[in-house]
Amino acid sequence: MLRVEKLVKRFRVKGSRNLVHAVEGVDFSIAPGETLGLVGESGCGKSTVARTVMRIYEPTEGSIILDGSDISRLKERELRPLRRKMQMIFQDPYASLNARMKVRDIVAEPIVAHGLLESEKEISDAVLAILERVGLGKKHMDRYPHEFSGGQRQRIGIARAIITNPRVIICDEPISALDVSIQAQVVNLLKSIQKEKGIAYLFIAHDLAMVRYVSHSIGVMYLGKIVEACRGDEIYRNPLHPYTKGLLASIPAARPVKNGDYLKPAIEGDIPSPIAPPPGCSFHTRCSFAMDICRTEAPQMKEMSTGHRVACHLY
């Protein structure tokens, strides 16, 4: 449904010749009705991938193939009719809804913009049907975003995304701004909509447990590259890349600590600047297994078992 090949996005730093290497050669594909989870620390480029795939940012290199056609070089006018096939849900339900628009207009906007429905009655019926699907109702249609809680706002954002019947939805941290008790509600809703409509999700998050739960395949990103990818939850059972291992070991368990066995930091230091990424393997500065070759030569992706790929010189 969506295939991304050798995607590169570099930003120029204002007033200098330096480049931010935000995304450096990312490949993935998502099948209809499936979810690809993309995880990594902040600054690893996962949101840039989302925005470049959506063509909010112009890709520097690479191709984005949506439903068989390459959209990476299309002009805005040619792109427009395809946009309804790919929608986005944003992280911040407070900032991503126009505060001066009523819910009915927010949700109707994509169908009006794409001219999918003409008469006011049809539009209104479609909006109501979608609102009911996401657990809201008629009484909410003429209210403004500020009258809703964070969880309800995210439901409005989901309604707006699914009203054009998209084939792909890019979910950029859709639950990380929500309270724990509300996160599960929104994730359940996203899962049941996917089952019903066969939509492909690109699900970006830093909560590894939640990503495991929603994803059919997973990519771990570090400094603009996917360093490990798998089908199912293979990386949780058998992580190969030292970065993936460290990430997993950093998750605090939801249980009391026994015999002073507290969570220990598994990765020391910070993620390096993407303006001057380290040569060789970009993780070598924080890796406890780093060898000489890691400092000079970037590892290539290797398939270790069916669907489980890793870019590390250890393998």
Binding residue for other proteins, selected from 2, 22, 210, 311, defined by CB under 8 A? 210
Write each residue from 5 to 44 as x if it is in contact with other proteins (CB under 8 A), else as -, in one continuous string. Answer: ------------------------------------xx--
Residue entry with tokens 């690809």: 36
Size of the site for other proteins (CB under 8 A): 45
Q: Report d(CA 82, CA 40) in Å as an integer.
A: 29
| Residues β-bridged to residue 172 | 204
Residues between 129 and 188 that touch other proteins (CB under 8 A): 149-152, 179-185, 187-188
* Residue 11 Cα distances to 15, 21, 22, 49, 275, angstroms: 12, 7, 7, 13, 9
Residue entry with tokens 């809804």: 97
Residues between 236 and 255 that touch other proteins (CB under 8 A): 236, 246-248, 250-255
By the rule CB under 8 A, 91 interacts with other proteins: no
- Is the CB of 266 or the CB of 304 nearer to other proteins? 266
Instruction: Please answer whether residues 282 and 225 qualify as being in contact, where contact means their C-beta atoms are separated by less than 8 angstroms.
Output: yes
CA nearest 269: which of 251, 245, 246, 285? 285
Q: Report d(CA 21, CA 293) in Å as an integer.
A: 22
**Which tokens in the block code for residue 138?**
């008629």
CB of 29 to other proteins, least distance (A): 20
**Which tokens in the block code for residue 199?**
């939509």
- Is the CB of 16 or the CB of 181 nearer to other proteins? 181
- Is the CB of 48 or the CB of 152 nearer to other proteins? 152
Binding residue for other proteins, selected from 13, 257, 291, 293, defined by CB under 8 A? 257
Q: Report d(CA 291, CA 313) in Å as an integer.
A: 8
Of 104-112, 119-127, 163-171, 208-216: span binding other proteins (CB under 8 A): 208-216
**Could you list the residues that contact other proteins (CB under 8 A)?**
41-42, 149-152, 179-185, 187-188, 191-192, 206, 208-210, 212-213, 233, 236, 246-248, 250-257, 262-268, 270-271
